[in-house]
A and B are shown apart, each in its own frame.
Chain A
Amino acid sequence: MMFLLFLVTDFFFSGLVRSNVRVDLSELPFYFSGAVYLIGDEFFPCLVCIAKSSCISTRVIHSLEAMGCLCSKQKPVRTSDAEENAKAAEIEKRIAQEATAEKHIQKVLLLGAGESGKSTIFKQIRLLFQTGFDEAELRSYIPVIHANVFQTIKILYDGAKEFAQNETDSLKYVVSLENKVIGEKLSEIGGRLDYPCLTMELADEIETLWNDTAIQETLSRGNLIQVPDCAQYFMKSLRRVSDANYVPTKEDVLYARIRTTGVAEIQFSPVGENKRNGEVYKLFDAGGQRNERRKWIHLFEGYDQALFEDETKNRMMETKALFDWVLKQPCFEKTSFMLFLNKFDIFEEKALKVPLSVCEWFKDYQPVSSGKQEVEHAYEFVKKKFEELYFQSSGPERVDRVFKIYRTTALDQKLIKKTIKLVDETLRRRNLLEAGLL
């Protein structure tokens, strides 16, 4: 059985930055978890939904049984040695065994762009349901964390320079003279392919630059220049991470940002202790691919249509288009969807600063109050919009599929654990329903 899990990230958002040319997005604010890290990435927002496609295992078993009969109907087999026959039979038996074993594994695919939180979910699952990370693995993240530090400070410094050139109130982005020297040096380091080790001296310099008011101003407009999420977190711990005996903590590892290539996969069972009752899940993350999704997405499902990403559309609208498209696919007719509105903590922050109505889809939004109430209200509004879309795009024959919306913060372990348990329960209930037992 195959499931699809899309991850919705930062939910409102504007301008997709595809090339090194930065578009001025000041009139389009975005609620956003921070920038997408590497300039030139393709962004693709995603919805987390869990889909179940039709089970093919019974058909497979039948065809394997039939195979034996079919072979003999064809042209007379040359009297090949008994050995070849035996080997072939052995292979067929193994394939059948593997197919039955796989039937019990629920496969979940996480689709999403960088920065939507997929790798974080992977790490969380390792921590929650597997043995987590051992010391050697924790240490292996040190170069990644150091790299993140260099990359962050470079982005901030270069960003400040650019704002100083182009912004109307440019003076506040001008870095002080002493810090300029540091800045140029760090910018050069950050631009290299291989980063040096983060020593105490370098850490001190970085901290000095970080404390420059110009840099802090630039940080406040971080979404324009793609400052990574982990910026604040690592910058506040510079001393710790540059220590010679530094061993990253689990939280550090969760924040560390590395680009995944290929397909990452992880197998786990939510009900760890009692394996018999718990379903076994296998999670795949193909988000590292920065290319034409339509050329490989069929590996996961049966659809062949192309979904074009328009560079001029804003990310929320793309999410809307993708969700709409996915809902209409015939192969997902009986599929349940669970929408994870991720990075909720960031949403909370931004919802109070920028009105929702700026996003085209939410233009009929009216703020009612302020503070926590406002955040809740805004969230409910977004939720309602997705629900409307879901019902609009689902024909009458699709009534028996389930649609649920959850809010998540991939970095919050408790929340992830709770969410996965909920997902697991829902899926198991569906399975029981289908088997006619409920």
Chain B
Amino acid sequence: MSVAELKERHEAATAAVDSLRERLRQKRQMLLDNDLVGYSRTQGRAAISFSSTDLVCCRTLQGHTGKVYSLDWSPERNRIVSASQDGRLIVWNALTSQKTHAIKLPCAWVMTCAFSPNGQSVASGGLDSGCSIFNLNFQIDRDGNIPVARFLSGHKGYVSSCQYVPDDETHLVTGSGDQTCILWDVTTGQRLSVFGGEFPSGHTADVLSISINGSNSKMFVSGSCDSTARLWDARIASRAVHTFHGHKGDVNTVKFFPDGQRFGTGSDDGACRLFDVRTGHQLQVYQQQQQQGDNSADSPIVTSIAFSISGRLLFAAYSNGNCYVWDTLVGKVVLNLGAVQNSHEGRISCLGLSADGSALCTGSWDRTLKIWAFGGHRRVM
């Protein structure tokens, strides 16, 4: 077959795929009779009243000499690991704000970090296209550094996101710029499964974020530059369980809802969406209405999201320094952490809720991390 013929067939196939996709979208639209906010309204739900004293910044963690890109809480003992542009991982004691470990990474270009379930190790990944594991109990060497316990190599692009499988420190999932996600066995360094890549149902652009289901650790969701989020079953690497369309820009962040039946996404299009895992439908869009005359090219992108422990609150960080707290049921912003006293001075790049849900930590390009605790009569939301 000649090149010209191949081209023609390729174009015809692409057109067919596009039209099928459009039909799917329309069908879904028809089936969507309501969204979460609409439903809550019929139930007479009102927004939570949230004042600026309900969530206060009680700690500012300083010490990084570069922008903070990623953070993760330890599952217990209230420690936080953060990764920064200065090429360091710092482990903090969240209660005393003291640094317990500072690790100078062999490759300074780090983009993600994670705490292991037993709190003994931390993982980090970045432009070195691999994931480095550090055991916090190891002896520090003469330069004060912890040596790499294991290096997981195999990705062909940067590692944008990594997470340990809940309650299992021997397994780790990473998302990468090579469009695949990989499930690793940490003890041997082997790749157990590769999600995407040659398989047709994988992402077609860089994977930017992953989130493992807390209630069913065999399922995880990934968000990518191809504007979709895909749900995967770790046991079946050959095809994604479902692909979620809807966003109009890179999906920068994905996070499972606490009950594991839904997940949220945040994207370059400035919106957050809530998707249902079982039906594959979109439940809600969370987006601030743009003022008239706003240049759409400057609209802030969502960099990171997290849910409160009940799921009632969705914390979303944006590139313009705002951090909205959305009431997920009513679809309204109840607080902007970017506008309160003592807020960050730069873009908030990452945020995460502590294991018991009593505190939120935000990391920013202003080189600091801040811990926010629920004040007043609220302990946990």
B150 at the interface (CB under 8 A from A): no
Q: Is the CB of A291 within 8 A of B178?
A: yes
Q: How far is the CB of B372 from chain A (nearest CB, A)?
A: 13
Q: Is the CB of A295 within 8 A of B88?
A: no
Q: Is the CB of A262 within 8 A of B58?
A: no
B72 at the interface (CB under 8 A from A): no
B270 at the interface (CB under 8 A from A): no
B99 at the interface (CB under 8 A from A): yes
Q: Is the CB of B127 within 8 A of A289?
A: yes
Q: Is the CB of A95 within 8 A of B111?
A: no
Chain B interface, number of residues (Cβ within 8 angstroms): 50
Q: Which chain B residues numbered 12 to 71 have a C-beta less than 8 Å away from chain A?
A: 58-60, 62-63, 65, 67, 69
Q: Is the CB of A84 within 8 A of B156?
A: no
Task: Name the A residues within 8 Å of B2 (CB-CB).
Answer: 165-166
Task: Name the A residues within 8 Å of B102 (CB-CB).
Answer: 91, 94-95
Q: How far is the CA of A75 from the CA of B206 in the complex (A)?
A: 42
Q: How far is the CB of B375 from chain A (nearest CB, A)?
A: 12
From B58, B96, B104, B177, A77 is in contact (CB under 8 Å) with B96
Q: A291-B178, A295-B208, A299-B85 given as contacts; is B127 within 8 A of A60 (CB)?
A: no
B129 at the interface (CB under 8 A from A): yes
Task: Name the B residues within 8 Å of A261 (CB-CB).
Answer: 129, 156
Q: Is the CB of A88 within 8 A of B100?
A: yes
Q: Is the CB of A56 within 8 A of B157?
A: no
Task: Name the B residues within 8 Å of A405 (CB-CB).
Answer: none
Q: Is the CB of B65 within 8 A of A263?
A: no
Q: Is the CB of A21 within 8 A of B96?
A: no
A74 at the interface (CB under 8 A from B): yes
- Interface pick from B3-11, B163-171, B253-261, B277-285: B3-11
Q: Mark each residue of chain A from 3 to 21: 1 if its CB lies under 8 Å from any CB of chain B, else 0.
A: 0000000000000000001
For chain B, what secondary structure do more than half of its interface residues adopt (helix, strand, loop), or is it mixed? loop
Q: A88-B100, A91-B102, A296-B111 given as contacts; is B60 within 8 A of A74 (CB)?
A: yes
B107 at the interface (CB under 8 A from A): yes
- Interface pick from A63-71, A123-131, A324-332, A393-401: A63-71
Q: Is the CB of B205 within 8 A of A292?
A: yes
B217 at the interface (CB under 8 A from A): no
Q: Is the CB of A295 within 8 A of B96?
A: no
**Contacts A98-B104, A261-B129, A291-B205 given; 6 further ones with Cβ under 8 A?**
A74-B60, A75-B58, A166-B3, A286-B127, A289-B177, A291-B178
Taking Cβ atoms with an 8 Å cutoff, the residues of A that contact B are 21-22, 56, 60, 63-64, 67, 70-71, 74-75, 77-78, 80, 84-85, 87-88, 90-92, 94-95, 98-99, 162, 165-166, 261-263, 265, 286, 288-292, 295-296, 298-300, 304
Q: List 15 A-B contacts (CB under 8 A).
A: A56-B65, A63-B367, A67-B63, A162-B3, A165-B2, A166-B2, A166-B3, A261-B156, A263-B128, A291-B178, A291-B205, A292-B177, A296-B109, A296-B177, A299-B85
